[in-house]
Structure 1
């Protein structure tokens, strides 16, 4: 009797374990939820998902959501998108949002946008509710040399047709910044920019900056315009300083050349003096030879000495006369 009761206990335990494993592998409750929502789904389809390493809830719950929203989406489409690495729930939410907003969006395009790394739900929401992108201060210099700093607000709407392969917000901001700089640079006077800042937005908006991007620019508004530095005056000052340094360098070069020429002249004078001293040193020897050879007599020598003494006396008298004249003038 005891063995018979033990046998039934073991059978019940095994049955409970088998039922638990079965319910874990086969999502019966999920299948019941799908049937209750009006989605016809075979239990073997859920088992096949388990075998294909697909989490059934990640596919069935979005399918129920899409069915309730009136979308024609199949289980195979959602499962294939899941296996491709996409976000099934986000794709279904985007399709529902597009359907509610009367935006034409197919499942294939929505899945392609999701697989491309774009947030397709955000894109649909941006199509309904445009986004405002605020740029940092963009500096430009007018023709009169005054720097202007402008901040723009760009209102964009997502272009679903160009989400795959289209450029992002950074490209929009860069293009608008380039347009603002070129518009300010083409202005004759910075006062015109201050008086009519809408000229910047009109000029930039007319250039079609949203070409090749994932957005459509609705408007460009100049939020703030500030005056920066006087770049023209700074450039002129720097140019004047550079010209001054160049002139100083040239003057220093001329001075150095003059000093070199002066040193060269002094060297030549010293050389000539040395030659004169050398020549004077040979005079006594020449006179001695003349006396020995009889070409000069004693009286001739005495007359030469008298002439030399007379010349020196006249030079001393002239020097004293000049000194006395200078003293009287003072």
Structure 2
């Protein structure tokens, strides 16, 4: 009985050890690599496990590269994997470059992949050029008419400039700047509408792909529209500004005139106050003259008669003048 129990425990231990062995040691992957012509040791696969590298991420791309005729080894692929690169994409890119006869070695491909660019997409764009469509670009000709253009830029990836080269945003910005400059140098917007190919030829001759990761093959103007009359709008705005300035100056002159009028009214009031003050002193002066004998009573009455006669003449004259005015009317 004891013997049977010990046998069962031994069988269980052997089974557990076999399960752990086949789990930790990828024997199936080693067999696949062996029959695929890839020479890799079991110890190498175990070392990958210890370095926390998934062996399938290295061996499967290596099998694919070997079948394609590429000379790669596990150390290169494992180093690229540990650096954060995409081993499978890199191997696919190397195979595609070899088939397309594009000079791309492992080191350059790894550098492109680690730089954050999709190396496989770069190889594909090198074989099959890519079309970049710019947004609507607004430019103004010399006659003040706005021209709205949209361009399609056909580019091909330049493998040698992928590391450190500018991307699509730079291409779009440079093409937009070239369109604005070309349209702005045209004397009339009709010249641009009649010959839009002149824009693409002028822009293409500027070498806009310098320092970028692409090579510009062609620039085609997809659409050209006439926009606003910017010149007329600027003239209208200038006229409105001049009008406001003139109104401000007129308001300033009116304010100065009102201030001057107020000053003159103040002076008149002062003069009237002085006249009233002087008239108030007349009775006192007459009384003093009568007391001192400088003015007689008859002289005083004669003066009053003269004043009354003058007032009567003034009233008669006013009535006659009003009658004449009525007759005239």
Aligned mates of 1:283, 1:190 — CA distance in 2: 88
Report the CA distance between 1:263 and its aligned residue. 1.8
Where do 1:226-241 residues align within 5 Å? 226-241=225-240
Where do 1:54-69 residues align within 5 Å? 54-69=53-68
2:262 paired with 1:259: no
**Counterpart for residue 267 of structure 2:** 268
Report the CA distance between 1:95 and its aligned residue. 0.1
**Counterpart for residue 46 of structure 1:** 45
Report the CA distance between 1:188 and its aligned residue. 1.1
Aligned mates of 2:127, 2:254 — CA distance in 1: 78
2:110 paired with 1:116: no
Aligned mates of 1:145, 1:41 — CA distance in 2: 73
**Counterpart for residue 183 of structure 1:** 182
2:217 paired with 1:199: no
Stretch deviating more after TM superposition (253-262 or 110-119):
253-262
Aligned mates of 1:102, 1:268 — CA distance in 2: 103
Report the CA distance between 1:303 and its aligned residue. 2.2
**Counterpart for residue 312 of structure 2:** 313
2:140 paired with 1:135: no
**Counterpart for residue 171 of structure 1:** 170
Report the CA distance between 1:285 and its aligned residue. 0.8
Report the CA distance between 1:219 and its aligned residue. 0.8
**Counterpart for residue 289 of structure 2:** 290
CA deviation digits over 1:74-101, x for unaligned, max 9?
A: 1111111111111110100000000000
**Counterpart for residue 159 of structure 2:** 160
Structure 1: tracts of 5 or more residues without a match: none
Task: Give SS of 1:70's match.
Answer: coil
Report the CA distance between 1:227 and its aligned residue. 1.0
Report the CA distance between 1:128 and its aligned residue. 0.2
Report the CA distance between 1:186 and its aligned residue. 1.5
CA deviation digits over 1:30-70, x for unaligned, max 9?
A: 11111101111111111111111111110011111000000
**Counterpart for residue 104 of structure 2:** 105
Aligned mates of 2:149, 2:130 — CA distance in 1: 20
User: What CA RMSD, in Å, does the superposition of the two structures yield over aligned residues?
Assistant: 1.2
Report the CA distance between 1:16 and its aligned residue. 2.0
CA deviation digits over 1:8-28, x for unaligned, max 9?
A: 333333222211111111111
**Counterpart for residue 34 of structure 1:** 33
Task: Give SS of 1:157's match.
Answer: strand
Structure 2: tracts of 5 or more residues without a match: none
TM-score (norm 2): 0.97
**Counterpart for residue 213 of structure 2:** 214
Task: Give SS of 1:224's match.
Answer: strand
Aligned mates of 2:287, 2:269 — CA distance in 1: 28
Report the CA distance between 1:179 and its aligned residue. 1.3
Report the CA distance between 1:325 and its aligned residue. 0.6
Aligned mates of 2:304, 2:22 — CA distance in 1: 149
**Counterpart for residue 85 of structure 1:** 84
Aligned mates of 2:6, 2:284 — CA distance in 1: 158
Dislocated runs of 4+, deviation >6 Å: none
